[in-house]
Chains A and B, each alone.
Chain A
Amino acid sequence: MDTSDKEPEVVAKDTSNANAGIIPAPDFLDLQDIPATSESILQTQTDRKARKSLSPFQESMLRFRRDTRAMISVGALIFLVLLASGGPPIYKHIGGTYQSDFGTPIGPAIYHSYDYQQLSSQNQGPSAQYWLGTDNLGRDLLARLMQGLLISIIVALLVEIVDVVVGVLVGVLAGYYGGWTDTILARFTDLIFAFPGLLFAILLTGIFGQSASDYFGSLPVVGPFLANGNGPLVIVSLALALVSWPLMARYVRGQTLQLKQQQFIEAARSAGTSDVRIILRHIIPNIFSIVFIASTLNIAGTIIGESGLSLLGLGVRPPGSSLGLMIADGADTLEIHPWNVLLPTIVLTIIVLAISFIGDGLRDAFDPHTKD
């Protein structure tokens, strides 16, 4: 009894706080369970009048922009992406000349590269030469961190492209036409769900990883990038893409099935619009929000998957760098030099949490239930 008595009081306090300009506590559920006070109803009504001309997408983005947690996450993510893409070339030009192990002078282009080992300076703390210190082989931690971030981002983008293209294509076809596409999709998703994605990725990378490293390293254009122990990344991306698209296809299929019943599709069909045109002009724009949200959340999964596989020793190999590999490298000396492990762990935590918060914020912003 007492809880039900207390509840409205607390809720009322919460909303008044929000009106006073104080950030409300983050809510993980849609806002429905907070009964609207008369004040807030008035406010939404005036709001609605003011942005009558906005499209649903703009309206959602407006709601998204008001989500403080998500906006902080967007900022953190942009910072990390800029650090990964623009950091290494700048970092390689900053710093004086130092003595190498062999007594020859070396510039920052060498000792600020992610695979240069200076065995005389292992496990150092931050210094003018190594901004974030060195690992247990005397490699620059900041350079390795930026390279690892870059790897994570590239793999996430590649996997996401495959995930969205294949997932949307198969999902729309299965939802729109039904029939054998639908049956095959259903069977395939069942199989993927019964067969945990990571296990499949472990199998694939474990069996083909080594030869992929040899093969892709010798290719003409992409060779230099894939040579430094990055070859297994191709297999990692492939494996992660293979296990991620069925879920996307399932979401898209569900949404397409719903849309197909709607009257505007029926109207388009009765006006003689071709199937291709209906799919391109009427269905795909309407599944945009669900694809957007699902792919954001999947990016977090992909980054976790890549670093996890690298941590197990199946992804990027030395001298390459990846956040997971950095954790594995430092794990042996965890007791003496926890910083080597802590640094990649913290960065990975930030990136994963940021993407999850953005995904959460997007879901709240695009969810039609939270509109009123």
Chain B
Amino acid sequence: MMQFLIKRLIGLLFIVLGVTFITFMLGYFAPSDPIKEMMGEHFDYQTWQQLRHVYGFDLPWYQQYFNFLTRLARFDLGTSFHPQQRAVWDIIKDGVPISVELAFWGTIVTLLLGVPVGIWSALKANTWVDTLNMSAALTLYALPVFILAVFVQILILWLNNAGISWPVIGWGTPWQYSWSDIQYKLAPILTYGAAGYAYYARLTRTTLLEVLRQDYIRTARAKGLRERVVIYRHALRNAIIPLITVIGLLLGLLVTGSFFIETIFGIPGVARITVNSVFERNYPVIQATTILIAIGVVLGNLIADVLYLLVDPRIKTE
């Protein structure tokens, strides 16, 4: 198992390296000159060259990339362009807990709602409960998250007109759950988790139905075991394995969703900072957030691998 983990870790390290290379190269070949833009009206050649030297832009690309990597290795994310000279981490640090919180609750919604609904649907296969659940899940999964977000906002506005007062945008204090915080957080979190919820509900139903067709389930039933034991001890344990393998896909959904949820609901998280930096052409911040997000995804995949090993002992090494 150790050997497998080390192998995976090395593979993941290469992926992170690849991500840093892509983000660096995109910044390097960017058509606009950030320093020229920064100076604006006050452009003069001498200061321009000086600033280029300060930021290290006069070096050849491999040296710049090397410097970039060594700075990263020291957890130094660099200096931002707007506002000038401010550390990138300073700009990002308020967004990180918010995005992590959002992703955490999104995962909770996905797993704690999606899996039970999938089980329920599988147990009531081909009844109206199942049809209703699965139609809802298919719709939620097919619709892009920003459309769901818009529908949710229109619904809240409509309810507000009817009398209740519920906030439409904003986030409240991160990791605090007073009533007003919950009011802010409820709609974005539910919308955020919807796609993952739908995917997991459908997947759980399919895998559970498949497992229930197996011979050992028939044996368990023939032994006279109670239905509850058959489902939860024998079927569900085996149905869980495929659910772990798609955690990577869940992470992709979470990252994609965060861009739209944070933009539409006005949540000041990492994704929103990234989009704003794109408009400001604040490359150091974009590079930093991209790498942070990629590392998050890679770590999530690693956790999925470890879980997989723990749940299914048949996959020892290869």
Contact = CB atoms under 8 A, between A and B. Distances in A.
B307 interface: no
Contact of A26 (B22, B131, B259, B279): B131
B27 A207 contact: yes
Contacts of B112: none
B150 interface: yes
A125 B147 CA distance: 22
B281 A207 contact: yes
B297 A194 contact: yes
B304 interface: no
Given A190-B11, A202-B275, A206-B286, A353 B139 contact: yes
A199 B293 contact: yes
Given A7-B125, A194-B19, A334-B157, A29 B206 contact: yes
B135 A338 contact: no
A203 B290 contact: yes
B91 interface: no
Interface stretch (A96-104, A137-145, A305-313): A305-313
Contact of B144 (A197, A202, A348): A348
A11 B143 contact: no
B69 interface: no
Interface string B272-294: 00110011010100100010011
Kindly name the residue among A207, A208, A338 whose own CB sees the greatest number of chain B CB atoms within 10 A: A207
A85 B220 CA distance: 60
A65 to B, nearest CB: 21
Contact of A14 (B27, B126, B275): B126
A3 B147 contact: no
B250 to A, nearest CB: 12
A300 B106 CA distance: 23
B290 A300 contact: no
Contacts, number: 158
A342 B14 CA distance: 44
A334 B154 contact: yes
Contact of B209 (A33, A195, A313): A33
B146 interface: yes
Contact of A352 (B134, B144, B202, B298): B144
Given A7-B125, A203-B286, A210 B151 contact: no
A217 B248 CA distance: 39
Interface string B110-140: 0000000000000111111001001100110
B200 to A, nearest CB: 14
A25 B32 CA distance: 56
Interface residues of B, number: 65
Given A196-B255, A313-B279, A348-B147, A308 B22 contact: no
The secondary-structure label for the interface of chain A is helix
B150 A345 contact: yes
Kindly name the residue among A25, A28, A342 whose own CB sees the greatest number of chain B CB atoms within 10 A: A28
A7 B126 contact: yes
Given A195-B19, A314-B278, A341-B154, A353 B142 contact: yes
A194 B294 contact: yes
B252 interface: yes
Contact of A345 (B19, B151, B226): B151
A120 B227 CA distance: 69
A191 B15 contact: yes
B301 A194 contact: yes
Nearest to A355: B142
B263 interface: yes
A109 interface: no
A273 B46 CA distance: 68
Interface string A281-295: 000000000000000
A304 B144 contact: yes
B9 interface: no
Contacts of B294: 194-195, 199
Top 6 A-B residue pairs of the complex, sorted by shortest distance between their CB atoms? A206-B278, A356-B142, A211-B31, A304-B144, A196-B255, A194-B15
Interface of A: 1-4, 7, 10-11, 14, 25-29, 33-34, 187, 190-191, 193-200, 202-204, 206-208, 210-211, 300, 304, 307-308, 311-314, 324, 327, 331, 334-335, 338, 341-342, 345, 348-349, 352-353, 356, 360
16 contacts: A25-B131, A28-B202, A29-B205, A194-B18, A195-B18, A199-B290, A202-B259, A206-B275, A206-B286, A304-B144, A331-B264, A338-B157, A342-B154, A345-B151, A356-B138, A360-B138
Interface of B: 11-12, 14-15, 18-19, 22-23, 26-27, 30-32, 123-128, 131, 134-135, 138-139, 142-144, 146-147, 150-151, 153-154, 157, 168, 202, 205-206, 209, 213, 221, 226-227, 248, 251-252, 255-256, 259-260, 263-264, 274-275, 278-279, 281, 283, 286, 290, 293-294, 297-298, 301
Given A14-B126, A191-B18, A191-B19, 8 more contacts: A10-B127, A26-B134, A28-B134, A33-B126, A199-B274, A203-B290, A312-B275, A331-B150
